[in-house]
């Protein structure tokens, strides 16, 4: 019974030891047939030292929860992660996290535990989700010896589908988070940290589903 | 402490009423918010919010309508919707829909009420009636100005520098001069049996004694000015200055009851720049040609700027500028009479509009008329035509441009004997027509500026009696008072007008002061009240059944608020050497000023509606 993802979750659950990932996997994923408005989401963004989950490290994570298509700002979190070795200068320019700050951050294990606890039973939202999924998966393997399973909505994919469905030609740059936010008349945040990018992705998600919804709702599966 | 919501906190801190909250309280709010995205055309407040919420617009726009479907306001970025949270029970909750894609923060009413309990300043903003907020806004405005001025707060008593120099009127002129020179006083008060009998000044000694060849052995009584004006000790410095300006005197005794406390002279004002008001008037009196008057008149804008900088309100400036316009007009009349000789029959020079109401700002256009004694013969009009032309042309040269509606004494229609004026007024009042009344409304703000024979008093009384008893006429005046409506409010950098139009700028006159001036006129005429000045009319009407005490006080506050903003806007333009106008761009207003203005608009609008209902004014528009 259940979706392939559900079956994998149950299989994985039997194989791994107690701990944060076990707790995470013991909650079922939301059913694809549910009305998207009844689903709980977690919008996430990670800042990393580079693009390769095998070599690079997570520097910070920011997230916020969406319930009943409302963003709950009370759930907003921003976590800096203690990092081994120097942060490559070129990435420090982008996310403005210095070595000192990174050294003052929390241990990756602690942040992962906190994140997995809130992600359990929720749909993950990220913009260009490949990065978030890749790094979380690598972190899980390193910490718990097993990769991540997640039910994910990628706002970038939703945007690309919209352009394609409407036959609107687009440049890759138009798929960037901030370009899309501007397109939907959403606020432009000055800070470019993991939290504000997660919030921007959450707001973009609300805008995307609102424009898709004709008032009757649709099922979660349409977004995956 | 998490700092991630700082940008949302900053957004709140930039918008009233959250800006009033201490940082520590403000920090707590973002975490209590939820964010909603509402597509254009969605119901607002959103139908699917089960609990009641307060909304703060982050992006987008919302249109709010009354139960009858009439547009009542528009919200944009930073605007707040709190109708669902009760509090202000005066107004019914407005609802509407988003007219743009909208991102809104919502706060549950429950949490909001808790916030109000913890921060009374927040509760005040929501729970105070708009009229109470207006009063506070005005207090702040005048408080700001008071600190910078002095002249607006200091009293006549504070300005006196020494005890009065007093002598008996029976002493000789030489003795009086001796006292003045020992005391180094430029004026001497003369008292007889504890009563103020008169005053002499340096100038009197020169003009009435030495130049006139009068013996210095004569009693000083012979050259004193006997009928003298006084001011009471608690008169504000500004009003004292204004009185001296109006009377064109340089000395005024300050009294408290029967007791003379001292003498105020124009030199006591020298530490206040605005004293130039007195000097301008005395320059006006010295002027012998129109060209000289033009030169004096050119100083008025500068005076207006000085007055504003020293903290004057709209009412102060209106009084001062009108006093100078009066002086210039009187001087032009005197110059014309000097040239043309004495009038063949008595006449009165009448002024209308803002000058009559003493609400002028620098160089309004002129509104005037001539009332001539019925004894005039046909040939006499030639004299009055020439007089009128001289004065009208002189005023025009001095910057009071010709009235575009030709309401001027040189227009024969408005240069008529008393009997004709009586007929005019009877017609306007007993057979009112909207078109005639548009023009006529100038004539219901009429003041006799120069009227040695007292021709106008009787006419004014007749007009008041006729109008008070004529319900149809009052209904027309009420309809006239509904012609100019205040805006609904502001929407982004636009002014939102009834019906949904947007203006780029706020017309401080037609959408601000004029509706109140028109209301005050309607109240005054309906109760047969004499005052012409808007504030005085409202004060007088408050004592009658035409207007409640509260209504009057609130309208006066609204008038002072808008008029002061207007006069400040003009002072800013004048000080930059620009032409002064009445158009204020909304982006020049602080969010708080916008809020206060909106309160004033709500008030004016409701007073207009009440008046309209009472007289069913809609039938006459």
pLDDT in tens, B24-43: 889 989 999 999 999 999 99
Tens of pLDDT along B258-300?
888 888 887 777 666 544 566 777 788 888 999 999 998 988 8
Asked if A60 contacts A79 with a C-beta cutoff of 8 angstroms, the reply is: yes
Please report which helix (H) or strand (E) contains residue B15, including its range.
Answer: none
Nearest-angstrom CA–CA distance, B385 and B485? 39
Q: Could you read off the pLDDT of B201-252 as tens digits, one per residue?
A: 998 999 898 898 889 999 999 999 987 888 888 887 777 877 887 777 888 8
Annotate B202-222 with DSSP letters as a single string: HHHIIIIIITTT--TTSBGGG
Look at residue B273 in the predicted model and tell me its pLDDT. Answer: 52
A-facing residues of B in 19-38 (CB < 8 A) are 30-38
Note whether residue A173 is domain-resident: no
What's the DSSP call for residue B188? E
- Identify which of B8, B38, B101 has the shortest CB distance to residue A73: B8
**CA-to-CA separations, B41 to A56, A211, B37, B84, B316, in angstroms, rounded:** 46, 12, 12, 20, 49
- Residue A180 inside a domain? The answer is no
Mutation for A interface: B7, B27, B35, B58, most A CBs within 10 A: B35
Indicate if the pLDDT at residue A97 is higher than 70. no
For chain A, what is the domain count? 1
The CA distance from B479 to A76, in Å, is: 57
Q: What is the CATH number of the domain that holds A118?
A: 3.30.420.10
CATH homologous superfamily for B6-127? Jelly Rolls (2.60.120.10)
Q: Do A72 and B34 touch (CB under 8 A)?
A: yes
Task: Specify if A170 maps to a domain.
Answer: no
Please report the pLDDT score of residue A214 as a whole number: 87
CATH superfamily of B156-269: CBS-domain (3.10.580.10)
Question: How many Å apart are CA A6 and CA B540, to the nearest integer?
Answer: 82
**Which residues of chain A lie closer than 8 angstroms to B4, CB-CB?**
62, 76-78, 193, 195-196
From chain B residues 37-76, the ones with a CB under 8 A of any chain A CB are: 37-39, 58-60
- If you count DSSP H runs as helices and E runs as strands, how many of each does chain B have, helices first? 23, 23
* Residue at A183 is within a domain: no
Domain ranges of chain B: 6-127, 156-269, 273-458
Rounded Cα distance between B238 and B287, Å, is 25
Indicate the DSSP class of residue B82: -
Please indicate if any CB of chain A lies within 8 Å of the CB of B5: yes
CA B527 to chain centre: 21
Please tell me the distance from the alpha carbon of residue B555 to that of residue B602, in angstroms, as a whole number.
11
Render pLDDT for B556-607 as a digit per residue (tens, 0 to 9): 999 999 998 898 899 888 888 888 899 999 988 888 788 889 889 989 998 9
CATH 3.40.50.920 fits B273-458, yes or no: no
Contact list in B for residue A206 (CB cut-off 8 A) is 35-37, 103
Q: Would you say the C-alpha torsion B459, B465, B470, B473 has a positive or negative sign?
A: positive
The neighbour count for residue B289, using CB atoms within 10 Å, is: 10
Kindly report the nearest CA distance between residue A193 and chain B, in angstroms: 9
Decide if A206 and B35 are in contact by the 8 Å CB cutoff. Answer: yes
**Could you tell me which chain A residue has the CA closest to the CA of B28?**
A74
Q: Which positions ≥6 away from B239 have C-beta within 8 Å?
A: B231
Domain that holds residue A77: 4-154
Going by DSSP bridges, is the β-strand pair B34-38/A70-80 parallel, antiparallel, or unpaired?
antiparallel
What does the pLDDT read at residue B285?
82
Tell me: ipTM over 0.90: yes
Q: Model-level pTM? A: 0.77
Is B4 close to A185, i.e. CB distance below 8 A?
A: no
Q: For residue A201, is it within any domain?
A: no
Whether A29 is in a domain gets the answer yes
A155-164 pLDDT, tens digit each: 999 999 999 9
> Which of B393-406 are b and which e, b meaning 16 or more Cβ less than 10 Å from the residue's Cβ?
bbbbebbbebbeee
Q: What's the mean pLDDT when you consider all of chain B?
A: 87
Q: Which residues contact B425 (CB under 8 A, 6 or more apart)?
A: B443, B459, B462, B463, B466
């Amino acid at each position: 019974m259940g979706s392939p993802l559900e079956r994998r979750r149950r299989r994985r659950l039997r194989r791994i030891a107690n701990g944060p990932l076990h707790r995470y996997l013991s909650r079922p994923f939301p059913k694809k047939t549910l009305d998207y408005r009844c689903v709980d989401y977690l919008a996430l963004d990670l800042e990393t030292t580079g693009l390769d989950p095998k070599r690079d490290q997570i520097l910070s994570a920011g997230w916020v929860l969406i319930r009943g298509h409302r963003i709950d700002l009370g759930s907003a979190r921003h976590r800096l992660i203690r990092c081994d070795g120097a942060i490559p200068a070129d990435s420090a320019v982008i996310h403005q996290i210095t070595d000192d700050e990174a050294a003052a951050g929390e241990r990756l294990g602690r942040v992962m535990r906190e994140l997995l606890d809130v992600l359990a039973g929720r749909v993950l939202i990220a913009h260009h989700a490949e990065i978030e999924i890749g790094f979380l998966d690598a972190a899980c393997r390193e910490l718990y010896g097993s990769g991540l399973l997640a039910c994910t909505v990628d706002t970038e994919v939703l945007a690309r589908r919209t352009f394609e469905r409407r036959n609107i030609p687009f440049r890759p740059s138009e798929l960037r988070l901030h370009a899309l936010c501007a397109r939907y008349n959403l606020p432009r945040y000055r800070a470019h940290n993991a939290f504000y990018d997660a919030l921007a992705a959450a707001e973009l998600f609300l805008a995307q589903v609102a424009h898709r919804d004709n008032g009757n709702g649709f099922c979660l599966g349409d977004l995956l | 402490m998490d700092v991630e919501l700082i940008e949302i906190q900053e957004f709140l801190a930039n918008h009233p009423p959250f800006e009033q909250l201490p940082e520590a309280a403000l920090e707590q709010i973002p975490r209590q918010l939820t964010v909603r995205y509402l597509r254009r055309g969605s119901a607002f407040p959103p139908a699917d919010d089960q609990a009641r919420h307060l909304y703060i617009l982050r992006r987008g726009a919302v249109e709010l309508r009354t139960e009858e479907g009439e547009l009542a306001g528009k919200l944009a970025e930073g605007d707040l919707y709190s109708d669902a949270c009760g509090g202000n029970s005066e107004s019914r909750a407005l609802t509407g829909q988003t007219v743009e894609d909208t991102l809104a923060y919502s706060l549950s009413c429950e949490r909001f009420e808790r916030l109000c309990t913890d921060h009374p300043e927040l509760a005040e903003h929501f729970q105070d009636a708009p009229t109470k907020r207006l009063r506070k806004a005005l207090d702040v405005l005048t408080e700001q100005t008071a600190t910078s001025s002095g002249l607006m707060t200091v009293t006549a008593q504070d300005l006196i520098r020494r005890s009065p120099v007093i002598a008996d009127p029976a002493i000789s002129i030489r003795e009086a001069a001796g006292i003045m020179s020992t005391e180094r006083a430029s004026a001497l008060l003369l008292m007889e049996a504890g009563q103020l009998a008169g005053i002499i000044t340096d100038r009197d000694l020169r003009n009435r004694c030495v130049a006139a060849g009068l013996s210095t052995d004569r009693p000083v009584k012979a050259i004193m000015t006997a009928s003298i004006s006084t001011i009471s000790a608690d008169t504000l410095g500004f009003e004292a200055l204004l009185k001296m300006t109006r009377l064109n005197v340089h000395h005024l005794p300050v009294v408290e009851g029967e007791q003379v406390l001292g003498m105020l002279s124009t030199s006591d004002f020298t530490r206040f720049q605005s004293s130039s008001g007195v000097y301008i008037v005395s320059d006006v009196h010295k002027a012998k040609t129109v060209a000289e008057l033009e030169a004096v008149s050119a100083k008025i804008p500068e005076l207006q700027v000085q007055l504003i900088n020293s903290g004057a309100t709209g009412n102060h400036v209106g009084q001062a500028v009108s006093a100078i316009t009066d002086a210039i007009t009187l001087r032009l009349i005197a110059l014309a009479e000097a040239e043309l000789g004495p009038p063949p029959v008595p006449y009165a020079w009448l002024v209308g509009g803002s000058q009559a109401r003493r609400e002028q700002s620098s160089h309004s256009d002129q509104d005037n008329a001539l009332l001539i004694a019925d004894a005039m013969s046909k040939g006499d009009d030639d004299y009055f035509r020439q007089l009128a032309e001289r004065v009208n042309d002189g005023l025009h040269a001095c910057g009071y441009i010709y009235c575009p509606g030709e309401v001027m004494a040189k227009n024969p229609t408005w240069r008529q004997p008393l009997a004709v004026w009586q007929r005019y007024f009877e017609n306007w009042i007993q057979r009112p027509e909207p078109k005639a009344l548009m023009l006529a409304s100038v004539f219901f703000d009429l003041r006799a500026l120069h009227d040695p024979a007292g021709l106008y008093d009787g006419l004014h009384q007749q007009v008041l009696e006729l109008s008070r008893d004529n319900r149809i006429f009052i209904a027309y005046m009420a309809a006239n008072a509904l012609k100019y409506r205040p805006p609904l409010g502001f929407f982004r950098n636009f002014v939102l007008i009834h019906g949904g139009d947007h203006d780029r700028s706020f017309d401080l006159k037609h959408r601000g002061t004029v509706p109140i001036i028109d209301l005050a006129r309607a109240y005054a005429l309906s109760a047969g009240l004499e005052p012409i000045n808007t504030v005085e009319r409202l004060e007088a009407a408050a004592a009658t059944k035409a207007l409640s005490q509260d209504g009057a006080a609130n309208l006066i506050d609204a008038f002072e608020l808008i008029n002061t903003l207007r006069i400040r806007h003009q002072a800013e333009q004048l000080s930059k050497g620009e032409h002064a106008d009445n158009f204020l761009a909304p982006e020049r207003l602080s969010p708080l000023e916008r809020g206060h203005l909106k309160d004033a608009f709500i008030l004016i609008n409701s007073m207009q509606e009440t008046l309209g209902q009472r007289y069913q004014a809609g039938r006459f528009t």
